[in-house]
Structure 1
Amino acid sequence: MKIAESVTFGGSGLDRAAHLRTQPEAVAALAERADARCFALWRGKILMHRDGAQGLVWLGMDHSLFAEAPEPFVFLGMDEAGPRFARDVSAFRPEGVDEEALKRFFDPNEYGVPGLPESQRFAEMRGAMMELTPRDAELAATGKAILEWHRSHRFCARCGAASEMINAGWQRSCASCGGQHFPRTDPVVIMLITHGNSVLLGRSPGWPEGMYSLLAGFVEPGETIEAAVRREVMEETQVQVGPVRYLASQPWAFPNSLMIGCHGLATSTEITLDPVELEHALWMTREEVADSFSGADKSVKPARAGSIAHFLLRNWLADRLD
């Protein structure tokens, strides 16, 4: 697919400067540079401009918001404007936090920071990803994924002792047993399954009302991408899939997946749902999907803009999969 990397969070050409991660003195020197900046992550939300200006809010390394951060900065790489870092500030306590909303699939609440403009707020990246520049999108996806991994992997998986962040945030080390742990990325296949002029869509329980997307599922150990596509579609709908080909991929930091977009040709069309995985599934013609995207059909809402599902469907409509 010629435009594969134009998907949101796709490659923006960021220089990750990975060779510096094992050089703490060099990374410390970068953090002290006048042009060094850091973005903040609070309980999964990222600090963004919410006044129409695109992008993350880049703070100075000594900003007071970082004073109570439990762990050090993560070095993300070198932007044309200077070194870029990320830091978890989940110890911060905004006013009026809705704890129940934070547990839901999508929390629309946004929270400000004392001393910053009202327009700079912590917001769900899932709902604001189209407002990010390509570079900020890659930096945000990288920082969010690795910081969320640190939050859930503070203890050694081998012995249970507390581990510490090393290598500029790209590794955790256990002083108790010597275990070394690295950020995980879970491969997930997401499938554009077509049969003639129609595409297979489904919705999971708990999704926003009326929203449908492509089927998706985790790749299992010892399984090829193609086999995972066929297995997931069969398990969820009993639809059989023949030829499968790769189209595009998308880092998906919710919390730490790599979405592997594939096109599969269905060899059957009868749907039998797995009610645990899907609330509903259906075949939609190209014309019906186009009406959904345009808003002419409001009964079926398309996958969220910025997601690889939206990207694949839009390019299927435009006949740009090759």
Structure 2
Amino acid sequence: MPRADRILPGLPPGRALLDRRGDLRADPGLLPRLLRDPGTRVLRLAGDRAPVEHAGPGRARLVLGAADDADAARLALYLGEAGGTAYVGVVVADAPAPDEDDPGWRTLRQVGADLDPLGAEVLTTTLALANWHATHTHCPRCGAPTEPSLGGWIRRCAVDGSEHYPRTDMAVIVAVVDADDRLLLARGRGFRPGGMSVLAGFVEPGEPLAAAVVREVEEESGVRVTDVTYLGDQPWPFPASLMIGFTARAETTELRLQEDEIEDARWFSRDELVGAVEAGSVHLPGRLSIARKLVEHWFGGPVDAPEVPLR
């Protein structure tokens, strides 16, 4: 496959800057030692929010610091190192959640597009691991409690000794373009009024990626596509996906919507999309998402649109 950063540039979190140092994870003293080291940079995650500070117009910076005494009893996650500095994520579950309006605590959706590449990677990885730990507290084999191990990268059953690893759900997301160079956008059930995005769906077991694109587009819209071309990918920890982006050429344009999934769908020329966005009748995905990058790849540049959550 071609390199994603040459096709869809600027996908947060961008290129990987953390050396994950999987060779160090088996050391049971790794996290205690790093949490005692004042040079370790710790990101504290409260729910889905992380501490941030304003770093200039359209820029934000994670607030990273040394560990405190309470961190030793919290779920700690070894993220790796960059530039000789070790990074650890700590899940704060023993303190009141930050207020949703607190500008000092923001979600990945709110600030991911404004973070530097290393900050975006640190927050994305911490959130993905924290989401997995929160939902895998018991062994799927025997039901016994599981415990974090290997620096937070697995959970081990205390009874049968089985090891359980974080999962990543692969999903395809595709910009479908017809012979008149129109883009297909759809509103999923549960989107806010006017919210529209490109089509997406999960890859099924045993299914090649291109076949998943063809199947998902036809299932959701009734449109048959060909010329499926990879454009880039993005980890999406909501809760645990890898979004794999494509473009595809429509062979048909008649829409037959999958009613339990898709509420509305339309073909847009560039002028029609600009007019709909300016009128407020269409809200595009946020700047953080690969969905927005796919739309702008077709459009030929940034689309001036306010940041409005689709859901």
Normalised by the length of structure 1, the TM-score is 0.85
Structure 2: runs of 5 or more not aligned = 303-311
Paired residue for 2:81, among 75, 78, 81? 78
Matching of residue 18 in structure 1 with residue 22 in structure 2: yes
Paired residue for 2:209, among 225, 229, 233? 225
Matching of residue 57 in structure 1 with residue 57 in structure 2: no
Counterparts of 1:275 and 1:90, CA distance in 2: 39
**Residues 1:143 and 1:220: Cα distance change in structure 2 (over 3 Å):** same
1:251-289 Cα deviation digits (max 9, x unpaired): 001111000001111111011111211111111113333
AA in 1 matched with 2:109: R
Contact 1:10 1:251 in 2 (8 A): no
AA in 2 matched with 1:43: G
Q: Which runs of 4+ in 1 moved over 6 A?
A: none
Counterparts of 1:133 and 1:77, CA distance in 2: 17
Matching of residue 135 in structure 1 with residue 138 in structure 2: no
Matches within 5 A, 1:240-319: 240-291=224-275, 295-318=277-300
Q: Percent identity between the aligned chains?
A: 35
Q: Alpha-carbon deviation of 1:235?
A: 1.2
Residue in 1 that maps onto 2:137 = 154
AA in 2 matched with 1:40: R
Q: Which moved more, 1:44-53 or 1:190-199?
A: 44-53
Normalised by the length of structure 2, the TM-score is 0.87
Counterparts of 1:8 and 1:193, CA distance in 2: 22
Contact 1:44 1:144 in 2 (8 A): yes
Contact 2:172 2:213 in 1 (8 A): yes
Structure 1: runs of 5 or more not aligned = 98-108, 112-118
Residue in 2 that maps onto 1:166 = 149
Q: Alpha-carbon deviation of 1:62?
A: 1.0
Counterparts of 1:298 and 1:263, CA distance in 2: 26
Counterparts of 2:234 and 2:147, CA distance in 1: 29
1:147-184 Cα deviation digits (max 9, x unpaired): 11001001011111001000000011112112110011
Paired residue for 2:168, among 164, 178, 185? 185
Counterparts of 1:280 and 1:94, CA distance in 2: 36
Contact 1:234 1:240 in 2 (8 A): yes
Q: Which moved more, 1:127-136 or 1:183-192?
A: 127-136
Counterparts of 2:250 and 2:45, CA distance in 1: 41
Q: Secondary structure at the match of 2:234?
A: strand
Counterparts of 2:101 and 2:133, CA distance in 1: 23
**Residues 1:283 and 1:37: Cα distance change in structure 2 (over 3 Å):** same
Contact 1:37 1:85 in 2 (8 A): yes
Contact 2:38 2:67 in 1 (8 A): no
Q: Alpha-carbon deviation of 1:9?
A: 1.5
RMSD across aligned positions (CA): 2.2
Contact 1:5 1:249 in 2 (8 A): no
AA in 1 matched with 2:165: F
Aligned length: 295
Q: Secondary structure at the match of 1:6?
A: coil
